[in-house]
Chain A
């Protein structure tokens, strides 16, 4: 029973029932008192409080009379507008009401975090959301095409065939973002070298030694892979906080959708041909 009371949908049904009862009572009230504007003491107190907040003083008798008159005027105008059906096709009123209802739904459907065991099962069932992409570490020797656009690939091949030396850091040209890169995923390589280079780098066999040459947006590169970490799924314990955040966001989205769907299902929808 306790669990049932925590179900957003149950809240929703109760809320709906209450609204229905309130609405029927209001309908009776309206037909009976259609031409009566009832100003309660509570309403006047509310008006007086607002006045005090805005003006930093209590309202005088004259102010109260003014507030009362303004309230009556607003009520009379609103009732007359309702009577004439002016609220029927008013976009602003329609959207405002829908907006208020949407808030109510999203308030109702804030889910509690699932217990750890349940989270772990969900994590295991949804590995794709948490998998870490393959990363590669590499060194490279860069050859700028400047002044040798026609021969740069041949030059790179010759350099590779001759064997890159221990002193590889002094070979080739300076590269703006450096010569050694650690544990980069594909988008990071794309950022510094362009898409063509990134695709080729991630297709290179995981072998020691220098490979290539590979073209980039800048020129030609001879590359040495120093580490390849295949994509992997971290242990649940290591990333529990992340799993919790993703789970909550997802649960909230599902609850919202469910609540909205349940609401819509209470209506017969007819779409004209």
Chain B
């Protein structure tokens, strides 16, 4: 019933499209690929590394669902938006980055049916003559539109291509054009682009027959530089292990590639399972193939945060951050165990103890998953992600529906209520790299020297090893961190309690910082364990040694204008910290979480802009944050 509504309004508006629907527009002519000689260094090269902010998850009209959301922008628009250009949202308003341009970006259209929907809607394409095309783009009957669009969704879910509609040549041409467009916009030293697509696998669930609901196993497949002529989509196989085989083959021909899982939060416990896809026991081959292909995970994006769930982390007061747990396009709750990163870090250590290799020793990034060619990273300028379906405040449930002036007695729209209002402003992928080139940023991701943010461009360093407190005051702190240990994403071998140095600096456009935390995840015979330590507080306060918590710094927000209180929080927080609870021989994963002072959530900004009441059941403020990739410790 709910899916119906969503596709209905989208598809009707989809018919009203105007703009470029041909696959090969003159502006997208493939150009020769640029390569940079390894020895040639770009401006800004820094041996102790710069942090680069990017987005590795953006859809355009070439995605089967985005086209139905009335999106008509192309991969070229993704790169232009990333450089600071203005785009039109399908609902008619302008979208532009409020902050600086992105440093790196990838268009990641769904590989399955890539470019097919635009052709179905193009009177000059033979695909538009197909029955299903007429029923989606030529019909006036919403039920028929929905039914027929769902046929495509069902095909993506099952991995069985629809005969006649699955024009493989067209998919190949669309992909080759996307690769050429990424090459054309690659500007070493300024904007790094990657050839990439989304592998859109979903598991089925026995108790949800007849609905879309299933475990989300989506991954974005990102190539370092050159890419093959054909992509490998869920229509080849819905089993991610087959995707990794294909990626291993690509690597053996010299094309390096990684796949980045996302939305484990709605994977129904399948993303970080304790068994293989087919239910078999995880062995050393599986573990090493997985981590070779999937060194990082996208943890923060519009459809929620996958760090942890309050049910898994009852002692973490900040665990309930932008949680979204409904299986995609359904109201069925995703199974919690196996769906979140913090627990997966402990599971990985358990699997390492059993097989010798940790399949879940991954680093972290954030991204947008925008379906309108550009992410909305700022809470005060939010356009969600599914085009004409959630383009307005009323559609996404931040103000009352149907022009109502108050929430009282209003019949709430179930899609806005259960889905869109729970979504979150986009996150960022941050990578520490020597320079802004494909080679340098891709190596940063392979090293897992990356971190995720919920939207602000917080700067975050994290080192483990021979760290001492006087390094915090050294003018060359970062150099000393590198030479005395390993950065985020690294492994530390130690027989004594590990010591870490963490350092966060605020986003000059964002809020002051509240506290810096280290989160420890490990495994025992009783299963996954976790601890959260505040390691440095703002305003000169100290963590309580009994509770390991900072006092409340008193920061607040004036909800009448979203202005933050002044005088609380610090522009920078840094500390050296040794695990006080270390047990000899213990293997663990440690990562940093830094929290900002509270600021208005997007839904509060939406309501404030039109002078309406805030949604009574949504949080009015959030504490934005960044999460480092872990450092793993083990003993000799």
Q: Which residues of A contact B (CB under 8 A)?
A: 50, 53-54, 56, 90-92, 95-96, 98-100, 102-103, 106, 110, 144-147, 169-174, 176-179, 182-183, 187-188, 190-195, 216-219, 249
Contact = CB atoms under 8 A, between A and B. Distances in A.
Interface string B471-485: 001111110000000
Nearest to B15: A92
30 contacts: A54-B163, A91-B16, A95-B18, A96-B15, A100-B123, A102-B18, A110-B26, A144-B572, A146-B570, A146-B572, A147-B540, A174-B476, A176-B461, A176-B505, A177-B50, A177-B459, A177-B505, A178-B50, A182-B43, A183-B43, A187-B100, A190-B100, A192-B508, A194-B508, A194-B509, A216-B508, A218-B505, A218-B572, A219-B571, A219-B572
Contacts of B51: 177
A157 B455 CA distance: 36
Contacts of B531: none
A191 B99 contact: yes
Nearest to B510: A217
Nearest to B45: A182
A177 B477 CA distance: 11
A170 B130 CA distance: 71
Interface string B116-131: 0000000100100111
Nearest to A50: B129
Interface in B485-518: 503, 505-506, 508-509
Interface in B1-42: 12, 15-18, 20-21, 26-27
A54 B100 contact: no
B482 to A, nearest CB: 13
B309 interface: no
A182 B44 CA distance: 7
Interface of B: 12, 15-18, 20-21, 26-27, 43-44, 46, 48, 50-51, 99-101, 123, 126, 129-131, 140, 163-164, 457, 459, 461, 473-478, 503, 505-506, 508-509, 540, 570-572
Contacts of A146: 570, 572
Nearest to B84: A187
Contact of A188 (B100, B164, B506): B100
B408 to A, nearest CB: 34
A259 B459 CA distance: 50
- Among the interface residues A103, A172, A190, A193, which one has the most CB atoms of the partner chain B within 10 A? A103
Given A176-B505, A193-B508, A249-B27, 6 more contacts: A54-B163, A90-B140, A170-B476, A176-B572, A178-B46, A187-B101
Contacts of A188: 100
Contacts of A192: 508
Contacts of B509: 194
B18 A174 contact: no
A54 B164 contact: yes
B476 A217 contact: no
A13 B503 CA distance: 67
B73 to A, nearest CB: 15
A192 B99 CA distance: 11
- Among the interface residues A110, A169, A218, which one has the most CB atoms of the partner chain B within 10 A? A218
B459 A191 contact: no
Contacts of A56: 163
Nearest to B101: A187
Given A187-B100, A191-B100, A217-B506, A95 B477 contact: no
7 cross-chain pairs, A with B, having the tightest CB-CB distances, nearest first: A194-B508, A174-B477, A217-B508, A191-B100, A176-B505, A218-B571, A176-B459
A216 B507 CA distance: 11
B579 to A, nearest CB: 24
B495 to A, nearest CB: 30
B126 A169 contact: no
A95 B17 CA distance: 8
A99 B99 contact: no
Given A54-B131, A92-B16, A171 B572 contact: no
Contact of B18 (A98, A183, A249): A98
A179 B461 CA distance: 16
Nearest to A188: B100
Contacts of B130: 50, 54
Contacts of B17: 99
A244 to B, nearest CB: 12
Contacts of A178: 46, 48, 50
A94 to B, nearest CB: 9
Contacts of A195: 508
A154 B461 CA distance: 29
A176 B12 CA distance: 50
Contacts of A103: 21
Nearest to B478: A174
Contacts of A96: 15
B573 to A, nearest CB: 9
Contacts of A91: 16
B339 to A, nearest CB: 33
Contacts of A183: 43
Nearest to A96: B15
A95 B70 CA distance: 14
A136 to B, nearest CB: 13
Nearest to B27: A249
A95 B475 contact: no
Nearest to A174: B477
A169 B140 CA distance: 70
A99 B18 contact: yes
A173 B48 CA distance: 16
A95 B508 contact: no
Contacts of B50: 177-178
A211 B441 CA distance: 35
Given A187-B100, A218-B571, A169 B476 contact: yes
B475 A170 contact: yes
A68 B553 CA distance: 78
A103 B17 CA distance: 11
Contacts of A179: 475
Contacts of A147: 540
Contacts of A106: 20
A265 B99 CA distance: 42
A173 B475 CA distance: 5
Nearest to A168: B475
Contacts of A218: 505-506, 508, 571-572
Contacts of B101: 187
- Among the interface residues B99, B457, B503, B571, which one has the most CB atoms of the partner chain A within 10 A? B571
Given A91-B16, A218-B571, A191 B476 contact: no
Contact of B508 (A50, A92, A110, A191): A191
B295 to A, nearest CB: 25
A195 B98 CA distance: 13
A36 to B, nearest CB: 25
Contacts of A191: 99-100, 457, 508
Contacts of B571: 145, 217-219
Contact of A53 (B18, B123, B126): B126
Nearest to B53: A191
Nearest to B123: A100
Contacts of A194: 508-509
Nearest to B44: A182
Nearest to B12: A92
A118 B101 CA distance: 32
Given A173-B475, A176-B459, A92 B140 contact: yes
A179 B46 CA distance: 11
Contacts of B473: 173
Contacts of B27: 249
Given A172-B475, A174-B477, A176-B503, A95 B457 contact: no
B16 A53 contact: no
A95 B16 contact: yes
B244 to A, nearest CB: 33
B118 to A, nearest CB: 12
A125 to B, nearest CB: 23
A52 B476 CA distance: 72
A145 B573 CA distance: 11
Nearest to A92: B15
